[in-house]
Amino acid sequence: MEKYKKAVELIKNSKNLVAFTGAGISKESGVPTFRGEDGLWSKYDPIILDIDYFKNNPKESWEAIRDIFYKYMQNVKPNPAHYFLADLEKRGILKGIVTQNIDNLHQKAGSRNVIEFHGNTRDVVCMGCGRKYPVDVVNFENLPPFCPVCGEVLKPDFVFFGEPIPEDAFRKSIELMENADTLLIIGTTGEIMPASQLPYLCKGKIIEINPNKSAYTDKIVDIYIPEKAGVAAEILENLI
Ligand code: APR
């Protein structure tokens, strides 16, 4: 409990609190993580998210992507950890969330300043002309979808392996990290570049919530809470 009290003190006294989240924050909402025992990459080959592979095999990639991401995405709900961050923003304490997630759960919980470092599942983008459409235009029974204007393949508007990070998201993330006096890292292994480098830009104190140690835990974390995000968030919310 001492750790929770210390974390609450830091959070309450911070002027520029920022959160950095990964797949683990959505685990208790039923969204699978990528790595770990029952992670997606133990069942699927990550090559389906490689941009060159997608270009050559759009049908196969899309079918796997549909099964992995889109089948459950409509029905998942935020958990106490997402609501905790949304509440901190409403109170004026949290300045923004940099998320690697594409599941829209921060926004569903009411968070406003959410930087989607890896894009999102809400839209699709044309590989030819770059036009964007809401994902509703996709007929999941007849994949891949094509651009109604130029006829090229449509791709989910999230970042594939081998693709650059959206410029705007990259710039805003760096700005948030550099100005953060406290950083809350929740549910990421901290292994995937360049997202994994962001927390190192923070000059302030770092709190981490993750049942397992990450690449950050023994290096830059000041308060490590080895707990599931939803469980820890409820305890913190009650103490604040
Ligand atoms: N609460 C908090 N953390 C949890 C929970 C939980 N209930 N359950 C698991 N975790 C932690 C795991 O211990 C692990 O550290 O969540 C982390 C999930 O790690 P990854 O699956 O590697 O997810 P992430 O770090 O977000 O992956 C980064 O990799 O494949 C790419 O683009 C994809 O954005 C993704 C990126």
The whole-chain average pLDDT of the chain stands at 96
| pLDDT recorded at residue 180 | 98
Q: What is the whole-number distance in angstroms between the Cα of residue 191 and the centre of ligand 1?
A: 9
Half-sphere exposure of 30 (CA within 13 A, CB side): 9
**What is the C-alpha to C-alpha distance for residues 195 and 191, in angstroms, rounded to an integer?**
8
Query: What pLDDT is recorded for position 55?
Result: 97
Q: What is the mean pLDDT of residues 166-173?
A: 97
Q: What is the pLDDT of residues 33-49, one digit of tens each?
A: 998 888 888 889 999 99
CB 170 within 8 Å of CB 197: no
Q: Which of 34, 197, 221, 234 to mutate to test the pocket of ligand 1 (most atoms within 8 A of CB)?
A: 34
> What tens digit of pLDDT does each residue of 89-134 get?
999 999 999 999 999 999 999 999 999 999 999 999 999 999 999 9
The residue contributing the CA closest to ligand 1 atom 35 is: 100
State the closest ligand 1 atom to the C-alpha of 101, by its place in the atom list counted from 1: 34
The finding on whether 204 has its CB within 6 A of some atom of ligand 1 is no
Cβ–ligand 1 distance for 89 under 6 Å, the answer no
Residues above pLDDT 70, as percent of the chain? 100
Least reliable range by pLDDT among 8-22, 34-48, 50-64, 135-149: 34-48
What is the predicted pLDDT for the residue at 236?
A: 98
Is 182 near ligand 1, meaning CB less than 6 Å away?
no
Mean pLDDT of 185-207: 97
Answer yes or no: is the C-beta of 212 below 6 A from any ligand 1 atom. yes
Measured from the Cα of 100, ligand 1's closest atom is 34
From 76, 79, 188, 207, mutation site for ligand 1 pocket: most ligand atoms within 8 A of C-beta? 188
- Expressed in angstroms and rounded, the spacing between residue 151 Cα and the centre of ligand 1 is 36
**Torsion angle in degrees (nearest 10) through CA of 172, 213, 103, 126:** 60
Q: Where are the domains of the chain?
A: 1-30+77-118+163-240, 32-75+119-158
Predicted local confidence at residue 77, as pLDDT? 97
Res 189: pLDDT: 97
* Residue 82 CB less than 6 A away from ligand 1: no
Mean per-residue pLDDT, 135-146: 96
CATH 3.30.1600.10 is right for the domain spanning 32-75+119-158:
yes
Looking at ligand 1, which residue's alpha carbon is closest to its atom 10? Answer: 24
pLDDT at 219: 98
What was the pLDDT predicted at 72?
79
Contact between 5 and 207 under an 8 Å Cβ cutoff? The reply is: no
Report the pLDDT value the prediction gives residue 222, as an integer from 0 to 100: 98
Which residues have a catalytic role annotated?
118
Question: Is 156 near ligand 1, meaning CB less than 6 Å away?
Answer: no
Rg (CA), the chain: 18
Between 11-25, 58-72, 203-217, the lowest mean confidence (pLDDT) is in: 58-72
Is a pLDDT exceeding 90 seen at residue 74? Answer: no
- CATH number of 1-30+77-118+163-240, picked from 3.30.750.24, 3.30.2090.10, 3.40.50.1220, 3.90.1150.10: 3.40.50.1220
pTM, two decimal places:
0.96
Q: For the sheet with 205-209, list strands across it.
A: 114-116, 94-99, 17-21, 182-186, 205-209, 223-225
Which 3-state string (H, E, C) describes the chain?
Answer: CHHHHHHHHHHHHCCCEEEEECHHHHHHHCCCCCCCCCCHHHCCCHHHHEHHHHHHCHHHHHHHHHHHHHHHHCCCCCCHHHHHHHHHHHCCCEEEEEECCCCCHHHHHCCCCEEECCEEEEEEEECCCCCEEEHHHCCCCCCCCECCCCCCEEEEEECCECCCCCHHHHHHHHHHHHHCCEEEEECCCCCCCCHHHHHHHCCCEEEEECCCCCCCHHHHCCEEECCCHHHHHHHHHHHC
The answer to whether 1-30+77-118+163-240 and 32-75+119-158 have equal CATH topology is: no
